[in-house]
Structure 1
Amino acid sequence: SKKHRYLINLLLDYHIGTICSDTAERGEGELYLRRILTSIEQVLNHSLICSLALNLFNQLLIIRTSYEHYNDAIEIAKRAESLYNQSLLIEPYLLREIINIDLLIQTNDRREEFEQIYTHTFFYLAQIYAKINDKDQSANYCRLTLERQLEMFHQHTKKHFDPLDWATNCATLSQYYMTNHDYATARHCLMCADKMLENVKTNDQLPERTASFKRCWIKYAINLLSKICLNR
């Protein structure tokens, strides 16, 4: 049918656009992606379309960031947030289901995939704010990313979860709180990082990361003692 051909073309154009942007043809890739966005503008929160739209926003966000157009990227992220909030009451089908709905896929699996896409939005925002030297916002979005990932971990949806990577990012975030003299939150981050290491079975980087976390604890103790001494 005409509708089915239209949906197939949307998916094909999306993949062509992402391939172009991944292979240094960012300008052409952005043209493809923006053309799709214009085409679906009126139906962004439709069950079949919302996953495509959220992926589109993330891809455009990455492209704008690569051009160092950070304000553009932040505005795109705001549109992603608006779309996400509108999608909370619907079932977002997977990207590949645009052309053929898979009846074997559970509703929870679809929602998990959609949540993962939106978590990527927060992750990208953390990097963008770091690039414009807004450390507070960068730390905030880093925290939100970690919280969302941890929530999925506790729900036993570990398909997209790397405990060593999570622990490393959490320990890194502790340095921000330490710099801002928020020692309680810094300590909490380090304790969470240590606890998460218990979920790492085998990894060549584990000894190095464990040693790195211990150095973070030493730095934490030194900074805390220095603050206590200064306050006397």
Structure 2
Amino acid sequence: MIGVFKKCFRLALSIIFFMVMIMFIQTPVISTLSKDHVNFKQDTQGDILRVMTCIGAIILSLYFLRLLAKCLGINLSKPHSKRRLFNDKRLLAYIVVILLITLIYLILLFIGNGYSVGVVPKEISEMSNKPVIFTLYMFTTIISQPILEELLFRGILQERLARYSSWISIIITSIVFSYIHGYGAIINSQFISSIIYGIIYKSSDDVRFPIIIHSLQNLVVVLFVIVFA
């Protein structure tokens, strides 16, 4: 009876911890910390505070992700993680195919919107006036956010659920991934991207694969918006 109670308590604690992490790892992506979030002044001191807050949030996120993984009995540092990634032909094939699909999707969306990229993030539209904020936006969007999200969603959530069913774990993880990105409908670009990341993680069993794909995909999207905005 005590053993069952401990398991239930651990499961409940893990779920709460996971929900907190979902909110916490989004902090770096709002590292711009505008007046909507934290009232940092638009000066050198404010920029230093933004950078320090961003770095602190990333470090804490990595620390708590490690704790959550340990609580769930997951090893984020698998033995094969030391292998040379770019000698793996599968990764190069994934990169070429995914980026090609992403570019085609962006072009079709651009044409469908009347040769418009739609809403341009404030960080991009004001990049010449606020270079530090723009730099933080690029860093978090292309580097820190893909790392944190993939560690949480593929490395922890999908890995844990895969003990019951590999494909159901991919679908459930993608639904959660889509939801936390603010989409009301289940089927959307974030959901589809997450399905792809999940399949790549399932086939490679290496969380670095979806991290790299996620990062490059974000880079292509941001560069497309910058060029055609």
- Does TM-score exceed 0.5, indicating one fold? no
Which has the higher Rg, Structure 1 or Structure 2? 1
Q: Which has the higher contact order (CA 8 A, sep 6+)?
A: 2
For normalisation by structure 2, the TM-score amounts to 0.30
For normalisation by structure 1, the TM-score amounts to 0.29
Higher helix share: 1
